[in-house]
């Protein structure tokens, strides 16, 4: 089972890399980009200004998912 999961993971990584290369070769217009770095509860947004609200919403959603996962798994940092 572990070998099958490993092979599936490698295959997905290779397919993803191939899709990125294909997408980059077909781009003819202007490219906009940006990103978010989460350091604790503080998001650092960089890139195109028009993408900032979207990136902040994504960062907020990721933070909420991580907090919920932490609380649901019992590793919320509280007393045992």
The per-residue pLDDT for range 18-52, each reduced to its tens digit, is 998 888 887 777 767 888 888 877 778 888 888 88
Q: Which of 14, 64, 15, 54 is nearest to 34 (CA)?
A: 54
pLDDT of residue 67 exceeding 80: yes
For residue 61, what are its two tokens? 């959603």
pLDDT over 90 at 14, yes or no: yes
Report which of residues 3 and 52 the model is more confident about. Answer: 3
Higher pLDDT, 69 or 11: 11
- 33 SS3 class: coil
Q: Is the pLDDT of residue 78 over 80?
A: no
Domain boundaries, the chain: 2-73
Query: How many helices (H) does the chain have, and how many strands (E)?
Result: 2, 2
- pLDDT above 90 covers a percentage of the chain that reads 19
């Amino acid at each position: 089972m572990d070998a099958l999961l490993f092979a599936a993971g490698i295959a997905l990584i290779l397919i993803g890399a191939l899709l990125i290369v294909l997408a980059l070769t077909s781009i003819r217009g202007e490219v906009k980009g940006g990103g978010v770095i989460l350091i604790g509860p503080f998001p650092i947004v960089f890139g195109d200004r028009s993408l900032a609200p979207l990136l902040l919403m994504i960062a907020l959603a990721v933070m909420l998912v991580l907090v919920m996962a932490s609380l649901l798994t019992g590793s919320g940092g509280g007393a045992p």
